[in-house]
Amino acid sequence: MATLTSDITMPAAKNAIPPALLIGCLVLCVLNAAMLQKAFTSHLWIFDENGLGIPTDFINVWSAGRLVLDGHPALAYDWDIQKQLQVAVLGQSYPGNFAWHYPPPFLFIAAALAHFPYAIAFAGWAATSFLPYLAAMRAIVGRSCGLLLAAAFPVVFTNTLVGQNGFLTASLIGSTLVLMPRWPVLSGICLGLLSYKPQYGLLFPLVLIAASQWRVFLTAGAITLLMAGLSWLAFGTESWQAFVHWMPMFNQAFLVEGRAPWGKLQSIFGLTHYFGGPESLAWTLQSIMSAAVAVLLTLLWRRRDIRYELKAAALAAGALLVTPYLFLYDEMVLAIAVAFLVRVGLEEGFERHELPALGLVAALFIIFPFLGAPTGFAASLVVAALIGHRLGLSWRREGTQPVAAASAPARQF
């Protein structure tokens, strides 16, 4: 047993928050707040120095909602019409497009936001979507320091600055995982709502079947169908036809032509293109990684002798590794994996390398604006390695404790 525990904090320190973790989170929280305040006072958030709207991601949400309120939901998918409306709202043009490419159910949120003036909707969306993310992180960590960890995650600033949906995606994945052991129906509802961004739900059917989580699986399927049906009734067949029609063009623009710089794609697909690799190699490497992650997670979730938190962390991190289309704001989901790791560390004691590694993860996100490289992909790999190491320790301990004891933490949520 000495070889298993030599790198782990002694039992007397278990459940205590390490000072390094607390100080690091406080520093990152202050940094996030300071950068957002600086962005606002420097006219880098919402409005520029001339009072014109800054072209950024949120404009496609608000303009899509405006078209819904005007009675033309299908036109939200038309790039030319979208841009004309966006230029009118912002008061200035911009190169390229902020195209709307979400399935029609997400038009419900877009339409709700479009009821408000653009600036209020922008700031309100960031604030209101941040709340369920905070709640999910608090529930995962199991104590109030989860709120601090949530606010400290470096991608919080990026997601807020561009008005993206990273908070919502992270909260839905986090809620799905934290609710699954005790409230499978609620878990399935959260997973079904995640269908607005289906690329992050690719692994869930596999692991739910492997773990025999049939209530979650069936509930998620029912909610997905319900949302699709409601959006069909609300926005008509034309909206779904437009979604299907424009999706190949969107894939062509971003996954083939690289209209967004390749360094913005935080995936092995984007990394390969960033270093000049051909498309065939990028797809080959992405396919190999996606298949490997899917197989490993399926095998992991079949086992009952592994802590639930580690399986949940692996699934959250794996959801990011299997998709080629991944921007920095989507890395908010990695906060969910980190939260599960922190919970395990607080209960079992942190190993010496874990907190420095989490510091490296934060640094990789912070340096992205300066490098323009897929540093978020590197951060995902670091977190995946931390999870893998914890799983290795768990398997080595397997013979020293009964199965029931090993799986007991799942009941603590």
- Cβ neighbours, 10 Å, residue 15: 11
Cα of 229 vs its chain's centroid, Å: 25
Please report the pLDDT score of residue 260 as a whole number. Answer: 83
Which amino acid is residue 25, in one-letter code?
C
What does residue 45 show for φ and ψ, rounded to 5 degrees? -130, 125
Distances (CA, A) of 380 to 13, 271, 297, 318, 360: 28, 13, 15, 9, 11
Q: Which of 154, 156, 198, 206 is nearest to 173 (CA)?
A: 198
pTM here? 0.92
In whole angstroms, what is the distance from residue 408 CA to residue 390 CA? 17
Name 218's Cβ contacts closer than 8 Å, sequence gap at least 6.
188
Which regions in the chain score pLDDT beneath 70? 1-14, 398-413
Structure tokens at 68: 């819904």
Please report the pLDDT score of residue 413 as a whole number. Answer: 63
In whole angstroms, what is the distance from residue 158 CA to residue 116 CA? 23
Burial of 358 (0-12, 13-18, 19+ CB in 10 A): buried
In whole angstroms, what is the distance from residue 22 CA to residue 251 CA? 42
Please report the pLDDT score of residue 2 as a whole number. Answer: 35
**Residues composing the chain:** 413
pLDDT tens track for 288-319: 999 999 999 999 999 998 999 999 999 999 99
**8 Å CB contact between 75 and 32:** no
Structure tokens at 245: 């029609």
- Cβ neighbours, 10 Å, residue 92: 13
Please report the pLDDT score of residue 400 as a whole number. Answer: 53
Start-to-end CA span in the chain (Å): 28
Please report the pLDDT score of residue 78 as a whole number. Answer: 94
- Cβ neighbours, 10 Å, residue 34: 11
**8 Å CB contact between 96 and 259:** yes
Q: What is the DSSP letter of 256?
A: I
Give strand pairing partners of 8.
Answer: 351
- Cβ neighbours, 10 Å, residue 259: 14
Q: Is residue 266 helix, strand or coil? A: coil
Please report the pLDDT score of residue 251 as a whole number. Answer: 85
What does residue 399 show for φ and ψ, rounded to 5 degrees? -80, -5
Annotate 103-132 with b (16+ C-beta within 10 A) or e (fewer): bbbbbbbbbebbeeebeebbbebbeebbeb
